[in-house]
Structure 1
Amino acid sequence: MKTLKGPGIFLAQFVGAEPPFDRLETLADWAASLGYVGLQLPTGGADSIFDLERAAGSQAYCDDVAGMLADKGLQVTELSTHLQGQLVAVHPAYDELFDAFAPAEVRGRPQARQEWAVRQVKAAAVASRRLGLSAHATFSGALAWPYLYPWPQRPAGLVEEAFGELARRWRPILDAFDEAGVDVCYEIHPGEDLHDGATYERFLDLVGGHPRACLLYDPSHFVLQQLDYLAYIDLYHERIRAFHVKDAEFRPDGRSGVYGGYQGWVERPGRFRSLGDGQVDFGAIFSKLAAYDYPGWAVLEWECALKHPEDGAREGAPFIRDHIIRVTPHAFDDFASAGTDAARNRRLLGL
């Protein structure tokens, strides 16, 4: 068994224009002061705190970043290309909205935008290798998502065509990560074609069971869609290589349920909460991940409809630390061991 690494924190929700949230170095000081020892770094966007293309081309830059963080008692847990991964596959219904994730020069040009996104995600493979990382966090993108509910009736072959194209786009990216020795960890998430176990299995089959097509486990999304998040670990633990520690609650009533009624996050029956304020059984999750030898980090992703983000971050580090199980090096009943004696074992069995 392995002891999970952590606590880590995903910085995407904290980057901003005001100090200390405007630069990686000052964000690192802030995170370290709260007790975090790992940072998951977002990439992409005009206000990015990490230069992905520079990292892919410069070992010196990666060494400088790693060294700066090490001086503060921190290390990179994973890089994230959630925004760029989303743009690997975009249904035209979302073109205008998702253009905001891309640089100005490719907006309004879906093919150019997709090519840029692929280059970015491949760059993340090289940058991750330079940083000595083994896992990478991203989204799959989506072509079939507008057809999630089968009404009007879906034409025969529509879903198969969408997933075939998704696999075709991702296969060379997965190969690039394989060459770099890094796992691609898809966050199973609404709005992505990979949004539950069934869709992940469909995709995995189409990429030939690719060894780098792995998973980022986030139980909050499963609470909101009423999927058994503990059984999910039993099914897919061999592919789970990243972990977002995020809480959620689902409280349906006579007005709305899983679909949410187009309501805001405060009013929805299903909403994300700060750690400890929702319904996720983290004790069971951390126990299962330890039992299954999960090799990675426990990383806070703060998203909450109610609590201030700085309060959520402050509370998150001790919450994760208290849930990490330092695994035992021996069995609890070893004190009563009678040793190994093959002849005695045969006698006990009457052989």
Structure 2
Amino acid sequence: MKTLKGPGLFLAQFIGDEAPFNRLDTMAAWAGSLGYKGVQVPTSNPAIFDLAKAAESQAYCDDIRTTLADHGMQITELSTHLQGQLVAVHPAYDDLFDGFADASVRGNPAARQAWAVEQLKMGARASQRLGLKAHATFSGALAWPYMYPWPQRPPGLVERAFGELAKRWRPILDAYDEAGVDLCFEIHPGEDLHDGVTFERFLEAVDHHPRAKILYDPSHLLLQHLDYLGFIDRYHDRIGIFHVKDAEFRPSATSGVYGGYQAWIDRPGRFRSLGDGQVDFRGIFSKFAQYDFDGWAVLEWECCLKHPEDGAREGAPFIKDHIIRVTDRAFDDFADASVDPAALDRLLGTTA
């Protein structure tokens, strides 16, 4: 049996212009002072982490590992969430997602997609140089605007969308396979991979590629009213990354799961800091212990009420207290009565 690593902290929501949030080393020191042992690092800001340099320079990667180790920290995974989103963008979202891309390819969807694909491939090489075994990303979406079947979808639309999605991701998955790194798609509304059914559809379209894995975040499953514990039972062999994030759904007489275009604070479903929501983390951590998940438990902080620094400060002990140090022996070993084969026959009444 294996014990989860952690606590880890996803840095994306904490990056800013002021110290300590404007440099990787100072953020690592700050996270370490709170009790975190690792950081999940976004790759869309070269001032924090230079993805292009990391993909080509072992010395750069070694320097980063040494710098983090000096603070008692390590990188849990790299993230290309924003770049992965751009691998597949429906035209309705072109303007909204253009800001995720390098300025040189904005306003040019084909160039933007090619840039995103190269970013993902650099992520594979950088992860390999850093000795990482998993990488976090989004799938992007072509079919999402048609999720609700009104107006009725024409036959073949969804199949064609997932065929195209698989065509775009297959060469990227192959690059991760070559690097020996799992590519973990966060199951997330707004992505074509937003629940178990859509992940299975994608998995079939990429011929069950061995590197196509899941970033498990229970908050997104709770808000979709999915059985997030049963999800682990079904997909545990495909889960490669774990985001520890809380959420709550408060039934309303005026608004449902789609939120009614309201701000997060007014929605029936909203993300919360750890321990303030409804997610059964004891059940989740027990499932991961049961299935020998040995990855990291990484806090992703998103809350419309609590200050992020308070959420980070409270998150480290919360995760630490939930990690189950798995046992190395059965609880009833004290009563073991070893017997020889002849005794077994006597117990069964099968002695010749």
Which residue of structure 1 aligns with residue 74 of structure 2?
75
Residue 36 (structure 1) aligned with residue 36 (structure 2): yes
Q: Percent identity?
A: 75
Q: Is the 8 A contact 1:139 1:186 kept in 2?
A: yes
CA deviations over 1:233-290 (Å, ceiling 9, x no partner): 0000001110000000001111111111111100000000000000000000000001
Which residue of structure 2 aligns with residue 284 of structure 1?
283
Which residue of structure 2 aligns with residue 238 of structure 1?
237
Q: Show the 5 A alignment for 1:212-227.
A: 212-227=211-226
Which residue of structure 1 aligns with residue 301 of structure 2?
302
CA deviations over 1:40-67 (Å, ceiling 9, x no partner): 000114x641000100000000000000
CA deviations over 1:56-98 (Å, ceiling 9, x no partner): 0000000000000001100000000000000000000000000
Distance 1:277 1:188 in 2: 22
Q: Is the 8 A contact 1:136 1:182 kept in 2?
A: yes
Change (3 A) 1:201 1:5: same
Which residue of structure 2 aligns with residue 6 of structure 1?
6
Which residue of structure 2 aligns with residue 16 of structure 1?
16
Which residue of structure 2 aligns with residue 344 of structure 1?
343
Q: Show the 5 A alignment for 1:180-195.
A: 180-195=179-194
Distance 1:128 1:51 in 2: 12
Distance 2:179 2:341 in 1: 47
Aligned residue identity for 2:171: P
Residue 350 of structure 1 and its aligned partner are, at CA, apart by 2.2
Which residue of structure 2 aligns with residue 323 of structure 1?
322
Residue 344 of structure 1 and its aligned partner are, at CA, apart by 2.0
Which residue of structure 2 aligns with residue 263 of structure 1?
262
**Corresponding residue SS for 2:87:** coil
**Corresponding residue SS for 2:8:** strand
Aligned residue identity for 2:36: Y
Distance 2:297 2:187 in 1: 16
Distance 2:180 2:141 in 1: 26
Distance 1:107 1:319 in 2: 41
**Corresponding residue SS for 2:79:** strand
CA deviations over 1:107-148 (Å, ceiling 9, x no partner): 000000000000000000000000000000000000000000
Which residue of structure 1 aligns with residue 153 of structure 2?
154
Q: Is the 8 A contact 1:42 1:48 kept in 2?
A: no
Which residue of structure 2 aligns with residue 26 of structure 1?
26
**Corresponding residue SS for 1:150:** coil
Residue 206 of structure 1 and its aligned partner are, at CA, apart by 0.7
Residue 349 of structure 1 and its aligned partner are, at CA, apart by 2.1
Which residue of structure 1 aligns with residue 108 of structure 2?
109
Aligned residue identity for 1:299: V
**Structure 1, gaps ≥5 residues long:** none
Aligned residue identity for 2:37: V
Residue 341 of structure 1 and its aligned partner are, at CA, apart by 2.5
Residue 95 (structure 1) aligned with residue 102 (structure 2): no
**Structure 2, gaps ≥5 residues long:** none
Residue 348 of structure 1 and its aligned partner are, at CA, apart by 1.9
CA deviations over 1:183-240 (Å, ceiling 9, x no partner): 0010000000000000000000010000000011000001111001000000000011
CA deviations over 1:163-202 (Å, ceiling 9, x no partner): 0000000000000000000000100000000000000000
Aligned residue identity for 1:120: Q
Q: Is the 8 A contact 1:106 1:113 kept in 2?
A: yes
Aligned residue identity for 2:168: R
Residue 347 of structure 1 and its aligned partner are, at CA, apart by 2.3
Distance 2:331 2:278 in 1: 31
Q: How many residues in Structure 1 have an aligned counterpart in Structure 2?
A: 350
Q: Is the 8 A contact 1:252 1:269 kept in 2?
A: yes
Which residue of structure 1 aligns with residue 313 of structure 2?
314
Aligned residue identity for 2:234: L
Residue 340 of structure 1 and its aligned partner are, at CA, apart by 4.6
Aligned residue identity for 2:309: E
**Corresponding residue SS for 1:235:** helix
Distance 2:306 2:155 in 1: 45
Which residue of structure 2 aligns with residue 144 of structure 1?
143
Distance 1:346 1:154 in 2: 65
Residue 130 (structure 1) aligned with residue 129 (structure 2): yes
Aligned residue identity for 2:274: L
Structure 1: 4+ residue segments shifted above 4 A: none
C-alpha RMSD over aligned residues: 0.8
TM-score (norm 1): 0.99
Q: Is the 8 A contact 1:54 1:61 kept in 2?
A: yes
